[in-house]
Amino acid sequence: MSLPGSALPAEGSVASPSPLPRLASAYRMLEHGVDAVFGARANPLKHLGALGFMLLWLLVASGSILYIVLDTSAAGAYQSIASLAEVPWMLGTALRGLHRYGADAFVLVMGMHILREWLLGRYRHWRRAIWWTGVPLVGLAFVSAVGGFWLNWDRLGQYSVVATAEWIDALPFLAAPLARNFLGDVNLSDRLFTLFIFIHIGMPLLMVFGLWFHIQRISLAKVFPPRPLAWGAFITLLLLALLLPVESQGPADLRSQPTALALDWWLLFIHPLVDATSPTIVWVLLTLAFVLLALPPLWPGRTREAVAVVYPEHCSGCSRCFDDCPYSAISMVPHTNGKPGMRLAQVNSDLCASCGICAGACPSSTPFRSAEQLVTGIDMPQWPVNDLRAQLIQSLQAMPGPQRFVIFGCAQGAHTPGQASDVLHFNLACAGALPPSFIEYALRHGADGVLINGCREGGCEYRLGQRWTAERLTGEREPHLRRSVPQDRWRAVWTDTGDERTLAAALDAMRQRHHTGTPPVSEESH
């Protein structure tokens, strides 16, 4: 059923945030397939950022131990690393393998994370700074990874450092060639080896600093994945380390050129690329790659929605909107009324995602207030809570019956196919924008059942909307749905685009329960 004169987004009015909707849809289908096997909590495709953090912590921990046992001289480095294979119970082998395979996994997860965010269009508006602060981290990761091979100072490390020096020498502004430090019958100086150590250790320190910038604009950032996924990743890396041990490839010897090397293609791909083309071409390709990586936030896309607006006379300073905002766009400041100790919400328009989760969290957003014009403490001007209440009442009164069902849905998720005469479908920017009291309000004003439809777990366009909605419905988070609301007259279903059959089935089940009076399970999730 269509909504007359609606200031709320009509069904299907929100465009896909991705510039490549077919690829984005295909990726979502892949995520759903992994959901079916492992569940959302253990789905690595939904926790790539947190998984990357875990792998970084693993690299820091294993690297710290390796640094303790490393002989930091050019003459003794090789033997100190090679002797790890002699440690009892393969502990040294496991440590070295975890560090190497952890680095490979980190690069793989980083690439998948970038690809996922690009496919889903998560780089515009409030996400611009998040995207741009992530770009230099890619370079830091590869510099640190390549430098790690030098510390072993075996034949592979020798090949890598000489190839890197020759590649850098192609830059026109260098006064003296670096490669001459590694040519002829010379020994590597300990001072130069110390530089290798600085590169390998200094880059991760810069990465940690850069990651702080990368996540400081989001609240409750995940820096560790769910335990099942964390343990699964760790055990997988440990098995790789034990079954395919990382071995040194003979001590470095600058008097000869290494051949027949076992190359790590994930981390050292740039060397054979230079060999196959030229140093200049690779510099051009690398520059172009980083320029292209930085461009997506500048691409034209959908117009940004209006940001949240605070109404001081209705803001009690409870800080629920501050706690629930997924992007740290709300801060609490002294109230404009001047009362000591009273606070007021303040919105940073640069950070606001226009998701409406703050309006759903505000205690004054309840439709049961007697005010003719419902003004809440914080609201979205493009779909105010007052309009939602007014349209809900008008539309329910206009429905002929005998059954009336209401769906409060997420504009980013699945939509009911067709126009059913017994269904009102209200699309919000996010399911988290719905104050839970609207469920009871709809039931009291003639609805026979209410369906809350949000994104799948871990798939929320605004990070925390699905989670907060679920916790509000179960009473774990304020504002919560009152326990007195009959559980046989509402349910929640978590669906993404492509899950229309699941949503339709949930609606049909609600119709059947109303017809037969069979008690349902109040909440359903994929």
| pLDDT tens string 347-405 | 999 999 999 999 999 999 999 998 889 999 999 999 999 999 999 999 999 988 788 99
Distance of CA 319 to the CA centre of its chain: 25
Tell whether 10 is covered by a domain: no
CB-based contacts of 39, cutoff 8 Å, min separation 6: none
Across residues 243-252, what is the average pLDDT? 91
* One domain for residues 284 and 404: no
- Which range marks the domain in which residue 194 is found? 25-298
Predicted confidence at residue 523, as pLDDT, reads 46
Average pLDDT for 91-116: 96
| pLDDT given at position 12 | 37
Asked whether residue 483 is domain-assigned, the answer is: yes
Cα separations (Å) of 396 from 4, 72, 348, 435? Answer: 12, 76, 37, 18
By percentage, how much of the chain surpasses pLDDT 90? 65
- Cβ neighbours for 138, distance < 8 A, ≥ 6 positions apart: 110, 114, 290, 293
Q: Is 344 helix (H, G, I), strand (E, B) or coil?
A: strand
Looking at the fold, whether 249 and 338 belong to one and the same domain comes out as no
* Domain-terminating residue out of 298, 328, 343: 298
Per-residue pLDDT at 518:
56
Q: Specify whether 375 is located in the same domain as 276.
A: no
Looking at residue 220, which CATH number applies to its domain? 1.20.810.10
**At 281, is the secondary structure helix, strand, or coil?**
helix
- Residue with the bigger pLDDT between 302 and 55: it is 55
What band does 6 get if pLDDT is binned at 50, 70 and 90?
Answer: very low
Q: Which of 181, 155, 249, 195 is nearest to 72 (CA)?
A: 195
Task: Determine the longest span between alpha carbons in the chain, in angstroms.
Answer: 94
Distance CA 147, CA 160 (A): 9
- What is the pLDDT at residue 18? 62
Nearest to 409 by CA among 445, 440, 434: 434
Q: In this structure, what DSSP letter does residue 154 have? A: B
In a shared domain, residues 154 and 111: yes
150, 157 Cβ separation under 8 angstroms: yes
Stretch 459-464: mean pLDDT: 92
User: Chain-centre distance of CA 157, in angstroms?
Assistant: 35
| pLDDT band of 184, cuts 50, 70, 90 | low
Q: What is the mean pLDDT of residues 477-494?
A: 93
Neighbour-count burial for 8-21, b at 16+ CB within 10 Å, e otherwise: bbebeebeebbbee
Are 47 and 175 in a shared domain?
yes
Residue 303 lies in a domain: no
| Residue 208 and residue 325 share a domain | no
Nearest CA-CA partner of 85 in 75, 96, 73: 96
pLDDT value at residue 475: 93
- Residue 3, pLDDT score: 42
List CB contacts of 475: < 8 A, sequence separation 6 or more. 481, 483
Give domain status of residue 416, yes or no: yes
Q: Is the pLDDT of residue 45 over 90?
A: yes
User: What confidence score (pLDDT) does residue 99 get?
Assistant: 96
3: in domain? no
Q: Is residue 526 part of a domain?
A: no
Instruction: Evaluate whether residue 323 is within a structural domain.
Output: yes
Residue 13: pLDDT band (50, 70, 90) is very low
Do 351 and 445 lie in one domain? The reply is yes
Rounded CA-CA distance 162/168 in Å is 10
Q: What value, to the nearest 5°, has the Cα angle with vertex 305 and ends 304 and 311?
A: 140
Asked which of 121-125, 176-180, 197-201, 463-467 is least confident by mean pLDDT, the reply is 176-180
In the chain, the number of structural domains is 2
Q: Give yes or no: residues 293 and 360 share one domain.
A: no
Q: 315 and 286 share a domain?
A: no
240 in the same domain as 319: no
Please report whether residue 350 resides in a domain.
yes
Same domain, 284 and 399: no
Q: Single out the residue in 298, 332, 356 at which a domain terminates.
A: 298
Same domain, 190 and 324: no
Among the ranges given (90-94, 258-262, 313-317), the one the predictor scored with the smallest mean pLDDT: 258-262
Residue 295 identity (one-letter amino acid): L
Last residue of one domain, picked from the residues 243, 275, 298: 298
3-state class (DSSP) for residue 407: strand
Task: Tell me how far CA of residue 522 lies from CA of 423, 452, 483, 501, 519, in angstroms.
Answer: 19, 10, 12, 19, 9
